[in-house]
């Protein structure tokens, strides 16, 4: 009796699944790149935006949907948009980094990004991927699970996106240009922002404060995105703990914390229970920086507003970790575990070891006769004049070399006493090549050439597993034994700790040309970037798709 009852339930469940509307939808968006006057910090200034909004519009999709985004450039700057974390299977044409997968959309032109969101759900984001324009050209991507598929945590009452950013009072392109011209570090930002607003710790900011209204007793899902150009950030809400459930659109084993750390490029979903005495509480964000270099150390705030509480009530202030709290960051990262890890590569076909270096190269016109430079395996990446993916697809010679070294030319004490010798770098547009479907282990090793610093690294076209992390020099004979191959966090952007290393693994099953770079824009500008050519497989469905007809040309 019990048996047949269960059987009937199973049958009903099956029928329900079959009849539920799971068909993928086509979601169309129009992105107009326009210069708009936005008022922040006491005065209005023109910034480059999508549809006049800052932050830009949120893209909503379900796993499996097709997104069709027509980007029309009405501004004077060249533009491209990157869909950060979308895997773009066989479809690098829609990935967006300028001169890597496409030529820019020039003033007066349009390009339609047409891509499917396959096998991914959670919070991602989109941003300009040319010059420093992503400072103001960015927004959230919310990928809901397929129809009828619940979250692996209790259904929240409501959801909200919190985009953390950096604000300059001057034109951000002038800041970048001035840094390049002088060969020095560019000016740091004037403020941090939460959903585009700096909050009341800044002058004339009462109207420039984001507030999130909550009902007492309810649970909220907060989708937090670090869209800052150059700053790792802490985030906390006064009086409330946060339960981390997802990072970079990959579910995690839930854990509770009073603050999070989030690097540029990363996303973190947290559950917030409005379970404190009804009131007003500040949310706050501020930089994490554990080496003594100048950084925008100003705190942006927003308000968690319990429904019905008068806005005259002074908000409570949260305690953020100290700006140099490395121990908090290490402990936080150690808690990140995949909820249900997919196929973590257990064996490795290809081992890569890349050193991250900051240095100086000759520059006769610069202030010191030198300019700051950054490199991987001592190679400072030189941007090509035409897009690498096109050059690869059509076999155009002379655009790049396929000889990026798998390891540095010579081993040295990477994180030893500050290394002031060999501070020059070698320049080139050199790419690494990877066989289709091979498993790759990449160890990113920070160095003390010039100085140590932490670097958030982003790989396009893939998620990877973060199998290990440590301080000091990576030890090939000892460290792999400590790798987590059971439930390592899966993500698309990972921090390499100051004076330390991070090991990632992925299966190269997405053919194309994929950018990999530090997500601190200042370091990317200095050349801390490279790209992989992942070869086609043998089957017809294992090669890069043909390019769309409206792909921009250079």
Ligand X SMILES: *[C@@H]1O[C@H](CO)[C@@H](O)[C@H](O)[C@H]1NC(C)=O
The contact set with ligand X (CB under 6 A) reads 66, 70, 72, 78, 91, 103-104, 106, 110, 112, 114-116, 170, 174-175, 178, 184, 187, 239-241, 256, 258, 294, 297, 322, 324, 360, 367-368, 378, 409, 413, 416-417, 422, 424-426, 437, 509, 537, 542, 545, 554
Residue nearest to ligand X (CB): 416
Size of the site for Cu ion (CB under 5 A): 4
- Smallest gap from Cβ 323 to ligand X, in A, equals 6
Give the pair of three-digit tokens for residue 150: 């619940």
Neighbours of 475 (CB within 10 A): 12
Q: Report, in this order, helix, strand and coil percent for the chain, each rounded to 5.
A: 10, 40, 50
Single out the residue of 281, 249, 165 nearest to residue 521, CA to CA: 165
Separation CA 260–CA 242 (nearest Å): 8
Listed ranges 13-21, 167-175, 454-462, 507-515: which one lies at the site for Cu ion (CB under 5 A): 454-462
CB nearer to ligand X: give 320 or 442: 320
Pick between residue 303 and residue 496 the one whose CB is nearest to Cu ion. Answer: 496
Rg (CA), the chain: 23
Residue 347: its H or E element: none
Q: Which of 131, 391, 520, 530 binds Cu ion (CB under 5 A)?
A: 520
The pair of structure tokens assigned to 500 is 């330390």
Pick from 40, 104, 96, 43: nearest CA to 75: 104
Instruction: Give the pairing type, strands 439-446 and 431-434.
Output: unpaired
**For residue 478, with 0-12 CB atoms within 10 Å meaning exposed, 13-18 middle and 19 or more buried, which class applies?**
exposed
Q: How many CB atoms lie within 10 A of CB 190?
A: 16
Taking alpha carbons only, the member of 277, 272, 308, 253 closest to residue 158 is 272
- Residue 523 within binding range of Cu ion, rule CB under 5 A: yes
Whose Cβ is closer to Cu ion: residue 451's or residue 471's?
451
Stretch that binds Cu ion, among 57-65, 81-89, 493-501, 517-525 (CB under 5 A): 517-525
Q: What, of ligand X, Cu ion, none, does residue 426 touch, CB below 5 to 8 Å by kind? A: ligand X
Joined together, the tokens standing for residue 451 give: 């100085």
Q: Using the minimum distance from each CB to ligand X, give the nearer residue, 111 or 457.
A: 111
Give the nearest distance from C-beta 453 to ligand X in angstroms: 14
Q: Give the nearer residue to ligand X in terms of CB position, either 37 or 426.
A: 426
Contact partner, 433, from Cu ion, ligand X, none, Cβ < 5-8 Å per class: none
- Rule CB under 5 A: is residue 87 a binding residue for Cu ion? no
Residue 458 in contact with Cu ion, rule: CB under 5 A = no
CA distances from 54 to 4, 137, 138, 282, 307 (A): 58, 7, 8, 21, 26
Q: Which is nearer to ligand X, 16 or 403 (CB)?
A: 403
| Three-state secondary-structure class, residue 44 | strand
Which is closer to Cu ion, CB of 228 or CB of 533?
228
At 332, phi and psi to the nearest 5? -60, -50
Q: Which does 520 bind (CB under 5 to 8 A by kind): Cu ion, ligand X, none?
A: Cu ion
The least distance separating ligand X from the CB of residue 73, rounded to whole angstroms, comes to 10
**Position among 82, 280, 455, 460 found at the interface with Cu ion (CB under 5 A):** 455
Contact partner, 293, from Cu ion, ligand X, none, Cβ < 5-8 Å per class = none
Query: Under the criterion CB under 5 A, does residue 289 sit at the interface with Cu ion?
Result: no
Q: Which of the choices ligand X, Cu ion, none does residue 523 contact, using the CB cut-off of 5 to 8 A by kind?
A: Cu ion
Q: How far is the CB of 506 from ligand X (least distance, A)?
A: 12
Per DSSP, the residues of 505-522 read EEE--S-EEEEEEESSHH
Q: What are phi and psi of 10, to 5 degrees?
A: -60, -45
CB 248, min distance to Cu ion, A: 18
- CB count within 10 Å of CB 174 equals 13
Question: Which entry of Cu ion, ligand X, none binds 422, CB below 5 to 8 A by partner kind?
Answer: ligand X
Residue 378 CA to residue 422 CA, distance in Å, equals 9
**Of 110, 81, 112, which is closest to residue 547 (Cα–Cα)?**
112
Which of 450, 289, 455 has the alpha carbon at shortest distance from 370?
450
Minimum distance of ligand X from residue 313's CB (angstroms): 18
Smallest distance from Cu ion to CB 80, Å: 21
Give the separation between CA 458 and CA 447, rounded to whole angstroms.
Answer: 18
Using an 8 Å Cβ cutoff, are 103 and 554 in contact? yes
Closest approach, Cβ 4 to ligand X, in A, equals 39
Q: Cβ closer to ligand X: 159 or 550?
A: 550
Q: Which is nearer to ligand X, 493 or 544 (CB)?
A: 544
Instruction: Please tell me whether residue 67 binds Cu ion under the rule CB under 5 A.
Output: no
Q: Which residues contribute to the site for Cu ion (CB under 5 A)?
A: 455, 518, 520, 523
């Amino acid at each position: 009796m019990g048996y047949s009852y269960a059987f009937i339930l199973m049958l009903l469940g099956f029928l329900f699944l079959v009849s539920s509307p799971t068909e993928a939808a086509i979601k169309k968006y129009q992105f107009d790149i326009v210069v708009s006057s936005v008022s922040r910090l006491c005065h209005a200034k023109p910034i480059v935006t999508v549809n006049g909004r800052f932050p830009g519009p949120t893209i909503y999709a379900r796993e499996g949907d097709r997104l069709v985004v027509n980007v029309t450039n009405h501004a004077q700057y060249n533009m491209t948009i990157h869909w950060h974390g979308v895997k773009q299977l066989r479809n690098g044409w829609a990935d967006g980094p300028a001169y890597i997968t496409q030529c820019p959309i020039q003033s007066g032109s349009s390009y339609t990004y047409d891509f499917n969101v396959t096998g991914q759900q959670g919070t991602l984001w989109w941003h300009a991927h040319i010059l420093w324009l992503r400072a103001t050209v960015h927004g959230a991507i919310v990928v809901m699970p397929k129809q009828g598929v619940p979250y692996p945590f209790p259904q929240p009452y409501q959801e909200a996106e919190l985009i953390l950013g950096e604000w300059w009072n001057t034109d951000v392109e002038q800041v970048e240009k001035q840094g390049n011209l002088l060969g020095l570090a560019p000016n740091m930002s004037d403020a941090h922002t939460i959903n585009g607003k700096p909050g009341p710790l800044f002058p004339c900011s009462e109207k420039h404060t984001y507030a999130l209204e909550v009902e007492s007793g309810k649970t909220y899902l907060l989708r937090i995105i670090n869209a800052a150009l150059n700053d790792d950030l802490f985030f906390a809400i006064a009086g409330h703990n946060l339960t981390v459930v997802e990072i970079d659109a990959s579910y995690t084993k839930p854990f509770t914390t009073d603050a999070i750390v989030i690097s540029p490029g990363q996303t973190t979903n947290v559950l917030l229970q409005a379970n404190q005495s009804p009131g007003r509480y500040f949310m706050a964000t501020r930089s994490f920086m554990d080496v003594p270099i100048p950084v925008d150390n100003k705190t942006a705030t927003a308000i968690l507003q319990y429904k019905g509480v008068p806005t005259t009530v002074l908000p409570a202030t949260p305690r953020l970790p100290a700006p140099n709290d490395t121990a908090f960051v290490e402990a936080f990262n150690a808690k990140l575990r995949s909820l249900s890890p997919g196929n973590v590569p257990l064996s490795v076909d290809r081992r890569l070891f890349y050193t991250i270096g900051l240095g100086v190269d000759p520059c006769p016109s610069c202030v010191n006769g030198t300019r700051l430079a950054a490199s991987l395996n001592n190679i400072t990446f030189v941007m090509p004049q035409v897009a690498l993916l096109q050059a690869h697809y059509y076999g155009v010679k002379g655009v790049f070399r396929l000889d990026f070294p798998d390891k540095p030319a010579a081993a040295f004490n990477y994180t030893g006493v500050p290394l002031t010798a060999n501070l020059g770098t070698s320049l080139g547009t050199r790419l690494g090549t990877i066989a289709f479907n091979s498993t790759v282990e990449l160890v990113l090793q920070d160095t003390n050439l010039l100085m140590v610093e932490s670097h958030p690294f982003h790989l396009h076209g893939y998620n990877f597993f973060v199998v290990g992390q440590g301080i000091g020099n990576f030890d090939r004979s000892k460290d792999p034994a400590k790798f987590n191959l059971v439930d390592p966090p899966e993500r698309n952007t990972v921090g390499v700790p100051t004076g330390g290393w991070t090991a990632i693994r992925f299966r190269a099953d997405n053919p194309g040309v994929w950018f990999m770079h530090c997500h601190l824009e200042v370091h990317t500008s200095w050349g801390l970037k490279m790209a992989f050519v992942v070869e086609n497989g043998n089957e017809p469905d294992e090669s890069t798709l043909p390019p769309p007809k409206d792909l921009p040309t250079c």
